[in-house]
Amino acid sequence: MKADHIDFDNRKLYVFFQPMDMNLTQFIKKRFKRGKGRLDETNEIKVITRQILLGMKYLNEELGILHRDLKPDNIMINENPLCIKIIDFGTCKDLSVETGPHTSYVSTRWYRAPECVLRSHHYNFNSDIFAVGCVMAEMYLGHPLFPGTSELD
């Protein structure tokens, strides 16, 4: 849902959120806990990944927004029908207006693109797509693809 009413003169903002069942981390754990083994790769993983990619395409190509913190905790999901929403834009960057080098520290460690791990100040939408790949792998495996307890890991 979108904001219903924004009144800039009186500095009021009304925001309405669509209730969602859980985040993707909880969804993955729930599936593995049931003893099912993993998500149904022919349906669930394809549907979820497609929706994430469409969301990222809209953010990146249409709006020029670099999310910079895509991870299962920042993807909300409804089980029936299977529907996702990307959330937490606290570290996003609007590349349609901002130019120049970016901050070197971005995103949750386990989902960082190689250029961000190496602390590059020059990265782009590809770092978001790398995170999508890590999320997709986590849906298959049931655990993060690149877990670590420190920067070095």
Distances (CA, A) of 140 to 45, 84, 145: 8, 17, 10
- Residue 127 corresponds to which amino acid? S
| Whether 69 is catalytic | yes
State which H helix or E strand residue 7 sits in.
strand 5-7
Do β-strands 12-14 and 75-78 pair in parallel, antiparallel, or remain unpaired?
A: unpaired
Q: Are 74 and 108 in contact (CB under 8 A)?
A: no
Residue of 69, 73, 88, 153 marked active site: 69
Q: Go through 134-150 and write b for each residue having 16 or more CB atoms within 10 A of its CB, e for each that does not.
A: bbbebbeeeebeeeeee
- Using CA atoms, how far apart are residues 24 and 2, in angstroms rounded to an integer? 22
Q: What are the catalytic residues?
A: 69
